Structure 1
Amino acid sequence: MNYVLLYEVTYRFLSKGVCSYFKPNEIHLEKFNPNDSTLKQSRETIQSQLLETAKSQAWQSMLGFSQVFNLLVEAKKPLIGHNLFTDLLFMYKQFYQPLPANLKRFKSEMQRLFPSVYDTKYISYEINSMLSDKSQRWTSNGLISLYEWLRDHKHITHLLLYMPKLKLMDDLSVSNAKLHTGGWDSFYAGFCFVHLIYMLASLKHALPTIVKPFTLTNQLACVRRLENKINLIRAEVNHLNLAGPEPESRRPDMILVQTRSGRRIRVDQVAEMFAEFGSVDVRYRSQNSALVAVGNHICARISLEKLRNHPVYKTWSPIFPSWRHHTHIPDNCQIQVVIPDTSSLRYHTNLTDQTQLPHL
């Protein structure tokens, strides 16, 4: 019940009325002597309480997302996100502590803060590789593309039988969704997670002649091996393991490109030359050479074959047997997030120091 306090000052008395919003005709009046010390103390107490309440509200407003972060840490519930490596770095730096000097400390602290983390992008890669029928595979695992594929699930209906239905509130609509806002991206990531773990349970336990629903316990048991594995892009390994050693690299070796004449190399020309073979990153190495990182082994093989007799550039891969992709990320790797531009992330290791490469 909501009430309104009504004050009326008369000749020697203060009348206080309490009026209900729902029963405006029922007003209770009490008379007090304004010189009464009890009334004075009561008034001061009320003013003090109002001031403290205002201070508390202002402080809570200033804290903002820190309150959510603290609740997540306290709850120790599974943390779910899509391609959330930079999100973890950002939260750590902005709401906990400055980023540590090495990766080992970062992983240790993240395990203490969030013991259970799931990355739906990494999970989607793993499940996609398990689908033998290529028509069932999604071609893109960007958040919105993956959401739409799982929502329609025309080609994977048999893997999502008895899947619980997820519905939005009546006053919300996916057609009015605002991408890259916290609420909608959280909904999409959660939607993808519950569908992906159900698919995983179906792939692991379902038999051709037996179709049955899976409990949440079954589903979480199936996805446990993918826990705390965070997707990485443009790195030597495809994911970061927050709870253990890093995986072996599946990336192809970098390709060394050098001008045949010894003239100054143009990185933009090299990037354009490799663009037809897929997504690549090019880094200037010396006056007449550059390093090219390709996305997969197929791209590396095709580009090397087609550029073997290029009139201007010559290519090699692997570059040097002693400088292959390492099987783990070193503990002294440095991580830095540049604020306020949260999309700018510098991730580098001592392996990328040009001085460590032998001269040709």
Structure 2
Amino acid sequence: MVLHSPAVVPAAECDRYTNESHPHEAGYDSYMAGYVFIRMSHLQTMQGISAQQPVPPRFRRYLEVMRRFQDKVNIIRASIDHICLVGEDPVSRRPQWLYVTLAPSRAATINSAQIAELFSPYGSVDIRPLDGTHFLVAAHSFYCAKDILRAYRSHKLIHVTYYNMWKHSRAVQVLLWTSISVSILGIGWTFLGKSS
């Protein structure tokens, strides 16, 4: 219910689109894309406009208001909320990942869906299992991440902390220890070669 909401009326030969759904039909998909664009444009344009404005905005005004979204593609559940087709992508405004460790006694009894259910009172989360006892959690907001950390600060069976690649990534740890081992072998080989 927005003031001066535009009426979107399909052409006579496409009248069936007003009462029936025809997904993946080219005409219907085009109609729905246009419908959503007009509605979103109107909502954006009418923000902050007084209810006493007697004249509805012209289409040109919609285009001016929507220009800030031009060449930007929305990304769902990613570290950034959109990508720019022209220019630099935005800086990430997502919270840092959470790293969940289960007590060995609970490893077989809790899966990623159950963890998502446990964390759901604090907000929307995405869970990625790493193995039977470790999970990565992407929280939808900083408040959600902080609330989860606070709630599970002293939990006996589920430990939650911020994810640290150097500390928690198995691949990074293997690479680091391999590099250290190769370096030590190289130094030892060089030292033994010089002494003989």
TM normalised by structure 2 equals 0.69
Aligned to 1:274: 116
Aligned to 1:41: none
1:177 and 2:21 correspond = yes
1:220 and 2:63 correspond = yes
Q: Percent identity?
A: 25
Q: How far is the alpha carbon of 1:167 from its aligned partner?
A: 1.5
Q: Structure 1's 268 and 211: CA in aligned 2 closer, same or farther, altered over 3 A?
A: farther
Which residue, 76, 86, 92 being the options, matches 1:243?
86
1:306 and 2:151 correspond = yes
Q: How far is the alpha carbon of 1:312 from its aligned partner?
A: 1.8
Structure 2 residue matching 1:176: 3-state secondary structure = coil
Aligned to 2:171: 355
> For 1:20-59, what aligned pairs fall within 5 Å after superposition?
none
Which residue, 182, 191, 203 being the options, matches 2:47?
203
Kept after mapping to 2: 8 A contact 1:265/1:290: no
Which residue, 74, 79, 103 being the options, matches 1:231?
74
Q: Structure 1's 250 and 357: CA in aligned 2 closer, same or farther, altered over 3 A?
A: farther
Q: Structure 1's 282 and 175: CA in aligned 2 closer, same or farther, altered over 3 A?
A: same
Aligned to 2:8: 166
Q: How far is the alpha carbon of 1:239 from its aligned partner?
A: 0.9
Q: How far is the alpha carbon of 1:224 from its aligned partner?
A: 0.4
Deviations along 1:73-130, one digit per CA (max 9) or x if unpaired, are xxxxxxxxxxxxxxxxxxxxxxxxxxxxxxxxxxxxxxxxxxxxxxxxxxxxxxxxxx
Structure 1 unmatched ranges of 5 or more: 1-153, 324-352
Q: How far is the alpha carbon of 1:209 from its aligned partner?
A: 4.0
More helix by share: 2
Q: How far is the alpha carbon of 1:265 from its aligned partner?
A: 4.1
Kept after mapping to 2: 8 A contact 1:267/1:284: no
- For residues 31 and 109 of structure 2, the distance between their equivalents in structure 1, rounded to whole angstroms, comes to 41
Kept after mapping to 1: 8 A contact 2:106/2:157: no
Point out 4+ residue stretches in structure 1 off by more than 6 angstroms: none
Q: Which amino acid aligns with 1:187?
A: Y
C-alpha RMSD over aligned residues:
3.1
- For residues 235 and 254 of structure 1, the distance between their equivalents in structure 2, rounded to whole angstroms, comes to 12
> For 1:2-21, what aligned pairs fall within 5 Å after superposition?
none
- For residues 109 and 143 of structure 2, the distance between their equivalents in structure 1, rounded to whole angstroms, comes to 22
TM normalised by structure 1 equals 0.40
Structure 2 residue matching 1:291: 3-state secondary structure = strand
Q: Which amino acid aligns with 2:20?
A: N
Structure 1 residue matching 2:153: 3-state secondary structure = coil
Aligned to 1:293: 138
What is the number of residues matched between the two proteins? Answer: 168
Structure index of larger Rg = 1
Q: How far is the alpha carbon of 1:286 from its aligned partner?
A: 5.0
Q: How far is the alpha carbon of 1:219 from its aligned partner?
A: 1.5
1:188 and 2:188 correspond = no
Q: Which amino acid aligns with 2:143?
A: I
Structure 2 unmatched ranges of 5 or more: 177-196
Q: Structure 1's 300 and 267: CA in aligned 2 closer, same or farther, altered over 3 A?
A: farther
Aligned to 1:3: none
